[in-house]
Structure 1
Amino acid sequence: MSANWTLLAPFPARVITLCLAESRPSVLAVSSLRYLTGVALALPITSLADPLMVFQGGVAWVASIFAIYLYNGVTDIAEDRINGSGRPIARGELRPRTAAAVAAVAAVLSLVATVGLPGPMTWIIAVNLALGYLYSGPPAPLKASSSGTVIVLMLSGLLSYLAGFTVATAGTGEVAPTGLIVFAAAAVCWMVLVGVPAKDLSDIPGDAAAGRRTLGVLIGESAARRMMVVAAPGLLTAFCVAVVVWDVPLVGVLAVMAAGVVAVVVAGTRAVGREQGRAARRRPYETFMATQQLVHVTAVLSNI
């Protein structure tokens, strides 16, 4: 499998480094954690998880996410520059055509990496790549609307857990355990109900200029903040009820999410003046991301 990565050899190391930065390392990290959570929460019902196969599946999944977000950076140039993004394409260090070429190679590699994995993994990766293109690519990118964004986030998020579960169970057709279903539902809702409004806070000017009808553009910054602040504790309550009703071993995850909800509410209610700029408006999103990562780390460590 590692030999396949020689396809990236024509690209200088600096280009690959810039492409990694453009593809958002924090997103790649949390995508890896989602996949590993699908693996970890499958372990109570199977002893079939092969470490090498799990690694190979992780490579395939993360390569697909890398390709998707790199291509997204190529298509987001106008709004990223207006919003003051510091990513390589927006600041002129990485040529869009070069980034698109690397994204295309990575997409192919993600499919090649599924060779030898359970059959459904090829389809999972293919569908994820298709969602990524539909989100960013012509003729009608789904990122232009809040509903399109939500649909892609939900489906891609669920696919990440399905990928981990499929590899861990070697594609034997096992039924997903209740703990994985409850966790996946809570995590996807966290992305949609908290992550979407949090992400929009720093990007409203550029999104509006690019003609995108995101949640932040449609309802404004103040309303987006209120939605995030209300949704976070509401989701925590629903998650707590689910953990109790179905008696799933996610108490540690619940505790971490509770701390994250407090942090998100504090970040979301803090006043932001015009002079504070993009960095201040990104604090709720950064808090959301940190919580998301810690929740997944807790789920993985609690089930291996």
Structure 2
Amino acid sequence: MNAWIEGARPRTLPAAVVPVLVGTAAAAGMAGLEGAGKGIVAWRAGAALVVALALQVGVNYANDYSDGVRGTDDDRVGPLRLVGSGTKSAGAVKRAALVAFAVAAVAGLVLAAATTWWLLVVGAAAIAAAWFYTGGPRPYGYAGLGEAFVFVFFGVVATTGSAFVQIEAVTPLTLAVSLPVGLLATALLVVNNLRDIPGDTAAGKRTLAVRLGDQRTRIFYVGLVLMTYLSVPFIAGLSARPLAAASLFTVVLARPAVQRVLEGARGPALIPVLGATGRLQLVFGVVMAAGLWLGA
């Protein structure tokens, strides 16, 4: 069980939790429903969280499986990979990924029945994108498009989708709050790929980090963090919820990770940066969500 938990890569789970928190908080006060919770339907928020977490775990297991059978993880530096390390069989990891995707599909089906069946199209696209990230004959993650996938699906789609299941609409605010969420989720992947540049290069995995090279990937990471905080005043003003600007204070948590990246940390030394980026995303998301909620 410990191996399965580690293989699910818990450090990446803030990328699933944060968009649900922020999207739901952005929808507060806009749903027009009677009762407590500022118009928020609690079970819909819970179902959205199940979808997001199951998709994150599913993509992690699917990535483990696909990279493992290709041999990409044979000399990996970083958290345990189940197939590459021989801890679990490829078939077992593949089944775990499919179970996680099935859980996401069932929760998504319930949300679609309560709102609009178009959510099934979005959900199918998310599952397909998760699988073909490193799976299939031409995985797009090997072509340097992984960051785009993360920004779109774990930023824009997850955040606006969490708001949509509450208010059944996409608004300028729900789109705006998805930007910093997506930027920090992308930064998480950038650190991961920065660490893996040597191994990915040897395995022929042309991630964006491999294509950019070590130095430009570091600049890219810092730029993602910087753009996150530049977006906050715009969001606070657009929403007329100034308390959302409190998320600017979380910049103190960004300093250690940014400093390690700029100082040239490599290989195993970047593993703590991955954890620090995940914590930054979680704290940023919680503070922004609280500000949006209290100001609604």
TM interval, shorter chain, is 0.7 to 0.9
TM-score (norm 2): 0.82
Match of 2:279 among 275, 290, 294: 290
Percent of paired sites with the same residue: 18
Q: Does 1:200 align with 2:193?
A: yes
Q: Deviations over 1:188-224 (max 9, x none)?
A: 23333x3343222210122112211123322332332
Aligned to 2:181: 187
Q: Deviations over 1:43-75 (max 9, x none)?
A: 121244222232223223322222222111111
Contact 2:257 2:273 (8 Å CA) reproduced: yes
Q: CA deviation at 1:298?
A: 1.2
Q: Deviations over 1:109-152 (max 9, x none)?
A: 32122343223433332221011122121111011122x11221
RMSD: 2.5
Q: Does 1:151 align with 2:148?
A: yes
Q: 1:268 to 1:45 in 2, by over 3 A?
A: same
Aligned to 2:55: 64
Aligned to 1:52: 43
Q: Deviations over 1:233-287 (max 9, x none)?
A: 355335445545765432111221x224423331222244xxxx63212343333
Aligned to 1:176: 171
TM-score (norm 1): 0.80
- Structure 2 unaligned segments of length 5 or more: list them: 34-38
Q: Does 1:33 align with 2:22?
A: no
Aligned to 1:116, the other structure's residue is in SS state helix
Contact 1:165 1:176 (8 Å CA) reproduced: no
Structure 1 outlier segments of 4+, above 6 Å: none
Aligned to 2:4: 19
Q: 1:45 to 1:177 in 2, by over 3 A?
A: farther
Q: Does 1:225 align with 2:225?
A: no
Which AA in structure 2 matches 1:63?
A: A
Contact 2:12 2:188 (8 Å CA) reproduced: no
- How many pairs align? 278
Q: Does 1:126 align with 2:137?
A: no
- Structure 1 unaligned segments of length 5 or more: list them: 1-13
Aligned to 1:81, the other structure's residue is in SS state coil
Contact 2:59 2:97 (8 Å CA) reproduced: yes
Counterpart Cα distance in 1 of 2:182 and 2:172: 17
